[in-house]
């Protein structure tokens, strides 16, 4: 009998072709694996197919290597790229932050309480302010100051930390520095950023104060993968919160912080659960 806590995740994508769902479901049946959840999407414009399947093996001697080798032979016929994720997998991550602590604090709480299946390997900051918070969680803290003259040297050290810790995901939890094109390329599909989303858009200093002056009725946040276009990478998820004339700039800031925390945590969870597929400059996101 299958164990309900032994849920594996198989994700795959390939060109749109007849039989793409069948190759997955038929193989799982032959391997005596019970499908507990399945979502798929066919992009008729890009002619690309995406599928995510959660399953539980019926047999207790399920072997991941044997499974992958056998499925690779079937997948090759469809030019299918796939990934198998083990139950209770904990992704190693590095968090980058500046002075604002709200997103970092939220992530650390979710990590401490087991809501996020990650292993935080390090926190990197260009300021020393948040080291006591990170030290309280008994995590390594790297203070790497940055100036225009030291940017290349600092980023080289950032990359050294990422590589040496084996991090598979970098979370920019209000890291207020623009990453170079070179580092963005290295982190393609592996780094999630959060920023405010206001209508109309406000850039520069004190965006929420600018929003107050314009009388905005919604504040929000966008979580996305980073790329070489500032704050314009492939979007994972967005959140909004209604505001009114009764909210002063400090209220807008507080509500903005809350929605940033929730939106970033949601994006990280979707990534960890293998529900996000990069598709050109967009994403395919399977909801829970």
Tally of residues, the chain: 288
What is the spatial distance between Cα 203 and Cα 209, in angstroms, rounded to a whole number?
11
Helices 102-112 and 249-272: angle between axes, nearest 10 degrees: 40
Per the CB < 8 A criterion, the answer to whether 286 and 275 are in contact is: yes
Q: Which residue has the tokens 């198998």?
A: 84
Q: For residue 273, what are its two tokens?
A: 């659960």
3-8 CB contacts, 8 Å cutoff, 24+ apart: 3/56, 4/56, 5/87, 5/88, 6/56, 6/57, 6/62, 6/87, 7/36, 7/54, 7/55, 7/56, 7/87, 8/33, 8/54, 8/55, 8/56, 8/57, 8/64, 8/84, 8/85, 8/86, 8/87
Is 231 in the active site?
Answer: yes
The helix (H) or strand (E) run that includes residue 52 is: strand 48-57
What is the spatial distance between Cα 56 and Cα 37, in angstroms, rounded to a whole number?
10
- In 3-state terms, what secondary structure has residue 220? strand
| Among 43, 231, 251, 258, the one annotated catalytic | 231
Per the CB < 8 A criterion, the answer to whether 91 and 118 are in contact is: yes
Q: Just list the catalytic residues.
A: 231
């Amino acid at each position: 009998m299958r164990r309900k806590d032994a849920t594996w995740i198989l994700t795959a994508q390939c060109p749109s072709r007849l039989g793409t769902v069948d190759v997955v479901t038929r193989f799982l049946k032959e391997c005596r694996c019970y499908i507990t959840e399945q979502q798929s999407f066919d992009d008729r414009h890009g002619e690309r197919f995406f599928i995510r399947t959660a399953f539980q093996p019926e047999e207790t001697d399920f072997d991941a290597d044997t499974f992958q080798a056998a499925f690779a032979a079937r997948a090759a016929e469809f030019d299918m790229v796939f990934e198998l994720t083990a139950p209770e997998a904990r992704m190693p991550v590095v968090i980058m932050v500046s002075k604002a602590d709200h997103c970092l604090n939220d992530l650390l709480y979710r990590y401490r309480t087991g809501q996020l299946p990650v292993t935080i390997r390090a926190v990197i900051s260009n300021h020393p302010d948040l080291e006591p918070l990170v030290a309280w969680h008994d995590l390594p803290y790297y203070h790497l100051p940055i100036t225009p003259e030291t940017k290349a040297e600092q980023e080289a050290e950032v990359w050294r930390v990422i590589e040496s810790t084996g991090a598979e995901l970098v979370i920019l939890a209000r890291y207020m520095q623009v990453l170079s094109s070179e580092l963005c390329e290295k982190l393609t599909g592996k780094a999630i950023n959060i920023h405010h989303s206001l209508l109309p858009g406000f850039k520069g200093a004190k965006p929420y104060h600018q929003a107050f002056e314009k009388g905005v009725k919604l504040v929000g946040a966008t979580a996305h993968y980073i790329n070489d276009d500032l704050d314009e990478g492939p979007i994972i998820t967005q959140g909004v919160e209604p505001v009114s004339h009764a909210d002063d700039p400090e209220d807008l800031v507080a509500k903005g912080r809350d929605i940033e925390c929730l939106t970033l945590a949601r994006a990280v969870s979707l990534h960890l659960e293998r529900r996000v597929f990069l598709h050109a400059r967009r994403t395919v996101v399977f909801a829970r």
